[in-house]
Amino acid sequence: MVNLLAESPPTLALTNIFQIMSSQSPETSPSITSLIGGMPYRMALAGGWIDQPFVSRFNPSPPGAMVVVSLQPVFRFMDRAGMATSTRKVALEIWGDRLPDRAPQELVRELYHHENGERPHPSGSQDMAGIVYPGISRLDYDFNVEGGIFPSHVESCNDAAVITWLEKVLHILPVCPRPQGYDPLIVQNLFPEWIARLGRSGHDSYAAVLRRDPLGLGAAMNASMACWEVLLPGSFEHPSLTMDLLPLLRYYRERFCGAAYSSCGGGYLYVVSEDPVPGAFHPSLRAEQSPHG
């Protein structure tokens, strides 16, 4: 066997190695979806936790809302980071690489029951809705409708101009996945007035997106995080967390239009800005396909 490193000048050896490594063209190498699956991911912008009945039952002014966004699977997001990866895995198991061509409400329910079964702390249905519904969706939750388990109403936007705008002003920064043993529910301050504010933050964020208003969107995301800090302070502070989440959140909130974590316990940090955010990347939204698209 020829030893390239021993018998060739260093630069020649490296050249040969790089040629071997790059011998597969993009046309012949595996696609990213063949490696991670073709199912969408989802991100949640504001109003998170209002999809949980133990929260929405105390809302004095229902329905409260939260906003979810369906994402193209263009790379692998971290697990335990607020991107609905556990729900996505269940979807891949039961449906394969593509969403079935059925009513989205039906798919949300099917996926919810497959993932949760008899779990004492079920995942909220916003995880399923964010994967199933294309575009940007406002999910309204009312405890008086089906016990607050599923949205009482869904409003979606697939307008190309709005989607392009949101992709431009949303910046994503990796922070850290939730650690094992983490429990955001260790302290619960379920004050009705703060739950009402949480639900309003979802309504406000969706309205700001439709207006293409970065200041309004940032303010709604900031309000959502303020509600988390009061209602479920374990979202940011827990003995298992090694990252000091609140100072980092405040840093970006003070310097840009607004910021919010993708998940309790960290995950990714979403920053709203019309200017560049160092180290961040933009999301790739999955929009509804036109009949001729």
Inside any domain, residue 283: no
CATH code for the domain in which residue 142 is found: 3.30.230.120
Number of domains comprising the chain: 1
pLDDT in tens, 84-143: 999 999 999 999 999 999 999 999 999 999 999 878 889 999 999 999 999 999 999 999
- The contacts of residue 244 (CB under 8 Å, 6+ apart) are none
Inside any domain, residue 9: no
Inside any domain, residue 279: no
Least confident piece of the model among 78-92, 111-125, 152-166, 205-219:
111-125
What residue numbers bound the domain in which 237 lies? 32-272
Single-letter amino acid code for the residue at 3: N
Inside any domain, residue 221: yes
At 6 the pLDDT is 47
In the predicted structure, residue 18 carries a pLDDT above the cut 70: no
pLDDT in tens, 29-87: 789 999 999 999 999 999 999 999 999 999 999 999 999 999 999 999 999 999 999 99
Inside any domain, residue 120: yes
Inside any domain, residue 17: no
Inside any domain, residue 24: no
Burial label, 10 (beta-carbon count in 10 A; 0-12, 13-18, 19+): exposed
pLDDT, mean of residues 165-185: 96
In the predicted structure, residue 21 carries a pLDDT above the cut 60: no
The CA distance from 108 to 96, in Å, is 15
At 117 the pLDDT is 86
| pTM (two decimals) | 0.89
Other beta carbons within 10 angstroms of residue 29's beta carbon come to 11
Inside any domain, residue 290: no
In the predicted structure, residue 291 carries a pLDDT above the cut 50: no
